[in-house]
Chains A and B, each alone.
Chain A
Amino acid sequence: MRFDHTTALTWGVALLGTRTYLAIDASSVTAAEIAESVKGQRLRTLAHEPLPQGAVMPGPAGPNFAAADAVRAAVARVLGDVSRARITLVLPDGVARIALVEPPRGVLARDYLRYRLAASLPWPAAEGVFDALDAGSGRVVGAAVRRATVAEYEEVASASGANVEQVHLAPLLGLAGLLRRRHTDEVHALLGDVAMCLAFVREGGILALRSRRRDRSQGEASRLRAELVRLASQVANGNGSVPLAVSGSDAPGLRPDLEGAAPTATAPFPTLASGAGEASWLLGLVT
């Protein structure tokens, strides 16, 4: 291959703009090496490792790791396939309290979040880490997660050789992807292993947001569909033609039931052809 200055610059930018996202959820550990460039983000490498059942129990309070050694081993294995230089640790659905809020003008979003969420947190607000994602029209998707919980995940990742630069949340990554797509009215369910987010999205803005733990028992698809339709009707003034979309953990298994029971069509949603199945945070990064 001819190696000139242009080639060197291209490779240099490609290498320097690479970031690895390391996600730990109840069922698996996933590492995705993402190339960041001016054209957007592109998936370079994906590594996926299933976890023993019960090894990780994502929750807002208390220990999340029942079998930390197994998780560390899985993390070490997936990190063997990707770059360890710049790692963003992705915490799973269910560890954070998430809310859509509209901070008054001149008030810092973090401060307003702390004020709004403090009363509903299962731990003292002083123990929390607060941050927010711009949701358009002056609104933000705020999240609060207990510092000790974050530290627990960070320790597992660091012990496995990860150089963690920042910590993100799986639902916020998924929502950021929906905001970038700038579609007209859609209702999305972003599924994690133990919790999920429901969002009504309109042209790059989030108009409504709910998050709750999942009930994966029989009939989840019909319950999910009913909840999505209810959310769409509330926000869209009874307009029942809003497309519904489901992505994330077990989404491929839920979609046929949603389509079969629904008069409305499910919105087309890109899927990743890999052994990792679907991860809504990953779709949010690369779509």
Chain B
Amino acid sequence: MTRQPDFSSAPRTSRVSLFQSLSLAACALAAIAAAFLAYQARGEAQAATRRLAEVSREVDAARGRVQAFETHARAAWAGMLAPEEAPPSRIVAEVASLLPDDVRLERIAIDYRRGGVLELVVVARDARAWDRLLQQLEAAQRIRELEPGPEARAAEVRSLVRARWAAGP
């Protein structure tokens, strides 16, 4: 049964109205456009997925680097000497108290980042004075890892002494 009965004596080729034809064509065009857009969106989604994977990999790598930096920083922070624990004035005063009378301190450098490494440029009147200085420094409670520099024992001794300041009460 047809929705609209037709009693024509012979079947006709097309009874579709122009409006119906245009509607059908519009629907077909819309479907094609939708399919094309869906295909495009699928491509864009795949590209976005690939990019996301790349970014994820970059983030992972960056996170690894950050962790390494943090580890390094923690380690570095662990070896540092806090200036609050050993103020320069205290170190200088204590080092000065260890100098014999015939030894002169020309320069002192304190490296807090390397755990309180001290570099002392000293001038001793003679070799015996130099030896006394080293004895005093070795005996000092807060001086560690003493490394005397090159010396010439013929006359006045001018040398560099390296040591580490031991923080504590």
Spell out A's residues near B (CB within 8 Å): 13, 16-17, 19, 86, 91, 96, 108-110, 129, 131-134, 140, 143, 145, 147-148, 150-151, 154, 164-169, 172
Contacts and interface: CB of A to CB of B under 8 A. Distances in A.
Interface in B1-54: 1-10, 12, 15, 17-19, 22
Nearest to A86: B17
Contacts of A110: 1
Interface of B: 1-10, 12, 15, 17-19, 22
A150 B19 contact: no
Q: Which 4 A-B pairs have the closest CB atoms?
A: A16-B19, A109-B1, A131-B5, A150-B9
Contacts of A168: 4-7
Given A132-B1, A172-B5, 18 more contacts: A13-B19, A17-B17, A19-B17, A91-B7, A108-B1, A110-B1, A129-B9, A131-B7, A132-B2, A134-B1, A134-B3, A143-B7, A145-B7, A148-B9, A151-B9, A154-B8, A154-B9, A166-B12
Contacts of B7: 91, 96, 129, 131, 143, 145, 150, 167-169
A17 B5 CA distance: 18
Contact of B12 (A16, A96, A108, A165): A165
B147 to A, nearest CB: 92
B6 A166 contact: yes
A88 to B, nearest CB: 9
A167 B6 contact: yes
Nearest to B15: A165
A129 B1 contact: no
Contacts of A17: 17, 19
Nearest to A108: B1
A interface, by DSSP: helix, strand, loop or mixed?
A: strand
Contacts, number: 60
Contact of A166 (B4, B18, B19, B22): B4
Given A13-B19, A16-B17, A16-B22, A167 B9 contact: yes
A147 B9 contact: yes
A167 B12 CA distance: 11
Instruction: Name, among B3, B4, B9, the residue most crowded by chain A CB atoms within 10 Å (CB to CB).
Output: B9
A281 to B, nearest CB: 13
16 contacts: A13-B19, A109-B1, A131-B5, A143-B7, A147-B9, A150-B8, A154-B9, A165-B12, A165-B15, A166-B4, A166-B12, A167-B6, A167-B7, A168-B4, A168-B5, A169-B7
A58 to B, nearest CB: 14
Nearest to B19: A16
B22 A133 contact: no
A122 to B, nearest CB: 17
Nearest to A150: B9
B8 A166 contact: yes
B8 A129 contact: yes
Nearest to A144: B7
A131 B1 contact: yes
Given A16-B22, A165-B12, A133 B5 contact: yes
A149 to B, nearest CB: 9
A17 B19 CA distance: 7
A166 B15 contact: yes
A151 B7 CA distance: 10
Nearest to B18: A16
Instruction: Name, among A16, A19, A86, A154, the residue most crowded by chain B CB atoms within 10 Å (CB to CB).
Output: A16
A5 to B, nearest CB: 15
A20 B67 CA distance: 83
